[in-house]
Amino acid sequence: MGTFDGKIVIVTGAGGGIGQAICMRFGSEGAHVIGVDLKADWLEELRGRMTEKGYKLQTKIVDCSDYKAVMSTHAALEKEHGRIDILINNAGQSAREKSAEFTDSEPEIWDFLINTNLRTTMNWSRAVAPGMRARQAGKIVNVASESAIYGDPKLVEYAAAKNGVIGLTRGLGRELAPFGVNVNAVSPGI
């Protein structure tokens, strides 16, 4: 018996390194994992790893920054499974390859980082929160970054977006706590 036997878990950004590790761990604990990512080849790699271990995995290719796509995908998943027990908002990236000092940064990078890190978290949280609130059960875990706390030169926009994730977590946590829904964030670093 695993800790998460029978639980329905959505993991966004499931194809990347941290996402795959999260999916593998939930799979090892008996959860039915729904891996969401924009990159089909990454999801196929994850499928191979999880299938090899006998873990339950379902994948969805979704642009998590697209509100309508997220809401539509969530509605279909909730109809299929009856509920979502846990959401791991892991989608995001730092765009290190495009990093520059803030005084040289461009609004296109700001938009990309806010959409990829904060909007994705807002979209999926908005999708699952009503059902969790109605059932008075559920967990949302948002992946922030230690950059949000300490700041990093040449990653100012990323730090700002991840700090938004922390603010969202705190506010949503206070809204949903009276309904038995936990909202937390983790802030990994290098």
Q: Judge whether 158 counts as a catalytic residue.
A: yes
Among 102, 97, 90, 104, CA closest to 144: 90
Q: How far apart are CA 173 and CA 135, in angstroms?
A: 16
Q: How far apart are CA 47 and CA 43, in angstroms?
A: 6
62 SS3 class: coil
Tokens standing for residue 75 = 């509605």
Q: What is the dihedral of CA 77, 80, 81, 86, to 10 degrees?
A: 0
Which of 55, 67, 150, 158 is the catalytic position?
A: 158
Instruction: Name the strands in the sheet holding 32-37, side by side, starting at the edge strand that comes first in the sequence.
Output: 56-61, 32-37, 8-12, 86-89, 138-143, 181-186
Give the active site residues.
158
